[in-house]
Amino acid sequence: MESYTVNDLRDAVSDDFATAIDVWTREGIESLSPSHDLWWADNEQGFRQFAEVVTTSQNVDQLKALIRHLLKGCVHSVLATIDGASRSAEIGRVHLVGPDGSLGEGLHELFADHLG
């Protein structure tokens, strides 16, 4: 079995988050197609109506950038909460732990750096 460092695990977690952002950004853009299966949507009708507006106004590239930006912000916020940079830290802390212990502090900053 290969041995990995905490930094390797941090990089792998950042890669997984970046991949999730890519997948959901692509899913959001593909959802503009009338034939796309919206298996994940709570409000399929709303997505269909929105898709009609976006595709007719030819704002698909702008929507893609917006979705990506919002998802990056969401992941950054979740990691900032884990890092203790939010109100919940007044009550307690949540830690991401690998086999060799905590992934440490500054995960939201590492993630931002990882994305470049």
- Report pLDDT digits (tens) over 71-80: 999 999 999 9
How many Cβ atoms sit within 10 Å of the Cβ of residue 80? Answer: 18
Cα separation of 55 and 47, whole Å?
12
101-102 and 97-98 strand pairing: antiparallel
Using alpha carbons, list the distances in angstroms from residue 70 to 21, 56, 57, 101. Answer: 9, 23, 21, 31
Read off the pLDDT of residues 37-81 as tens digits, 9 standing for 90 and up: 999 999 999 989 988 888 766 689 999 999 999 999 999 999 999
Q: What pTM does this model have?
A: 0.84
